[in-house]
A and B are shown apart, each in its own frame.
Chain A
Amino acid sequence: MFFEPFTDVIPSFFGWLNQGPLTLTIFLHTVIILPMFWIYKQEKANLNK
């Protein structure tokens, strides 16, 4: 099953994210890196002007 039932003692967003190996790490890295593409594109446009 792709989604497992939540098994932590106290329900929490981070507990839910942390149910599989590296899931929290992958999520946080994705969330942090994605906006950096946007910053990159903006700066590229600025430099091109």
Chain B
Amino acid sequence: MAKKNVSVWTSIPFWRRSAAWVTGFAVILLIWLSFDTLGQISMGTDEDLKAGTTKRVPAPTVINYKITYEMNKQRGSEIPIIGGKDANGTSSFEEKELFFGKEWTEEEAADLLHLGKLTSQAKNCMNCHTLLGNGAYFAPDLTKSWLDPAWDTKGVMVSMISSMLPSKLVERIEAGKAVSDEDNQLIKDMKIDIANGKMLTKEEAMAIFLRFPSSYPTHERMMPELAITADEAKGLVAFLKHMSSIDTNGFPRNFSKSVDQFKVGGSNAR
């Protein structure tokens, strides 16, 4: 057969078959990826934590553990270290710490985290903040906010909140407006703590800040008062602590770099 001068590039069946192949392959690939992702993002259990099994998303009881964030050379990014580091530079799940003065059971921790998640949605945190890559950059990224040195035991935020009553609440009490017994108690306790020079814990300071952000102005863009209740604030702090323990492949990038910058006196607020 003599070779005819034909062009495949103008052949409609060629393009039809190519398009069908690429589309079909992509569909199968995306379905496969969806199921593959389920394994990556499904939450671990309390047994995993006790057995020392690293999960990308640990169980809610991770709030009972000390969490740090360290560079892992092998992974090429920072990874959350839960309960102290072992010889391999990964989580040892040994060091615990009290959260709001107690150790939370599986059910309590799950309920608290659920309340925090619902509150974060109800108050629309993502309108200004970023959570796990979703949201805005009008306000600081909250993905690893629990690990922010400003909230360390002697960090600026904890020091400030430990030494200043929430002015909004004090104004309300002085104006004779009704406040809950819990809030009255909070002011009384804080006055005693301030007189004794006692520092709040990180979670207590965070909870007070979340309820009365405008009493502690730290930024040009001040966080608004969102009428968050004391319980909701606890839930939010648990939500933030849990989020910081999620392995995000090093997102947000260069978190520790900005921590170093912060420690030498630089500011992340621009």
Write the residues of chain A forming the contact surface with B, with a CB cutoff of 8 angstroms. Answer: 5, 7, 9-10, 12-15, 28, 31-32, 35-36, 39-40, 43-44, 46-49
Q: Chain A contacts of B247 at CB under 8 A?
A: 9
Q: Which residue of B lies closest to A40 (CB)?
A: B8
A44 with B8: CB separation less than 8 A: yes
Residues of B within 8 A of A (CB): 1, 3-4, 6, 8, 11, 13-14, 17-18, 21-22, 25, 29, 33, 36, 39-40, 54-56, 74-75, 247
- Shortest B60–chain A CB gap in Å is 18
Q: Which residue of B lies closest to A43 (CB)?
A: B14
A9 in contact with B13 (CB, 8 Å): no
Note all chain B residues with C-beta closer than 8 A to A7.
74-75
Min CB distance, B43 to chain A, in Å?
12
Can you identify 19 A-B contacts, CB atoms within 8 angstroms? A5-B74, A9-B40, A9-B54, A10-B39, A10-B55, A12-B39, A13-B36, A28-B29, A32-B21, A32-B22, A36-B21, A36-B22, A39-B18, A40-B8, A40-B14, A43-B14, A44-B6, A48-B3, A49-B1
Task: Report how many A-B pairs have Cβ atoms within 8 Å.
Answer: 51
Contact (Cβ within 8 A) B4 A48: yes
**Measured between C-beta atoms, what is the minimum distance from B260 to chain A in Å?**
24
Cα separation A43 to B74 with both chains bound (whole Å) = 48
Give complex CA distance A25, B220 in Å. 42
Q: Specify which of A35, A46, A48 is in contact with B21 (CB 8 Å cutoff).
A: A35
B21 proximity list for chain A (CB < 8 A): 32, 35-36, 39
- Chain B residues with Cβ below 8 Å from A47 are 4, 6, 8, 11
Docked complex Cα distance between A43 and B155 (Å): 70
Contacts of B6 in A (CB 8 A): 44, 47-48
Complex Cα distance A12/B56, Å?
13
Nearest to A44 among chain B residues (CB) is B8
Complex Cα gap A12–B75 (Å): 15
Within 8 Å by CB of A32, from B11, B13, B25, lies B25
Decide if A10 touches B40 in the complex (CB within 8 Å): yes
| B25 pairs with A43, CB closer than 8 A | no
**Which chain A residue shows the least CB distance to B20?**
A39
Q: Which residue of A lies closest to B26 (CB)?
A: A32
Closest residue of chain B to A41, judged by CB?
B8
The complex places the Cα of A39 from the Cα of B14 at a distance, in Å, of: 7
- Chain A nearest Cβ from B30, distance in angstroms: 11
**In the complex the two chains form, is B55's CB within 8 Å of A9's CB?**
yes
A14–B70 Cα distance when bound, in Å, is 25
CA distance A14 to B29 in the complex (A): 10
